[in-house]
Amino acid sequence: MNNSLEADAMVTLTESAAGHVKELLANEKENMAKTLRVYVEGGGCSGLQYGMVFDEKRDGDTAVDCHGVSVLVDPFSLNYLRGTVVDFVDSLNGGGFKISNPNARHSCGCGKSFEA
């Protein structure tokens, strides 16, 4: 169980993002028993890129609840994602999940990769 200090230092979802994740889980039966994982991996235009997937909890994962949605982050990714906010924008131009990461020194124009 995480204390509030750990939760504040982790990834959070806005109400809009949490609502969209709940919709995805409801509409994709194969993911109903899974949890949202937000992670970082090597690649992208700036050296590191964000990823989101429905997954199962693993040893070492940190979990936090945001507006009724559980979010998992592995120890490697947590180093890069502390304080990150994931939002969902529903628009025709540039809609989708938007990640705001206070640890990124430089973000790519695509919004999916960054330099730490």
Render pLDDT for 93-113 as a digit per residue (tens, 0 to 9): 777 888 888 877 655 544 444
Q: Could you state, in order of their start, the residue ranges of all structural domains in the chain?
A: 4-115
* Whether the predicted pLDDT of 6 surpasses 70: no
What CATH number does domain 4-115 carry, 3.60.9.10, 3.40.50.720, 2.60.300.12, 2.60.40.420?
A: 2.60.300.12
Sequence-separated (6 or more) residues with CB below 8 Å from residue 8: 83
Give me 32's structure tokens.
């109903």
Global pTM?
0.80
If residue 98 lies in a helix (H) or strand (E), which one and from where to where? Answer: strand 96-100
Of the pLDDT bands very low, low, confident and very high (cuts 50, 70, 90), residue 77 is very high
* Whether the predicted pLDDT of 4 surpasses 90: no
Question: Tell me: the pLDDT tens digits for 16-60?
Answer: 999 999 999 999 888 888 999 999 988 766 578 889 999 999 999
* Whether the predicted pLDDT of 7 surpasses 70: no
Whole-angstrom Cα distance, residue 56 to residue 105? 31
Q: Give start and end residues of each alpha helix (H) in 28-83.
A: 75-81
Q: 38 by DSSP, 3-state: which?
A: strand
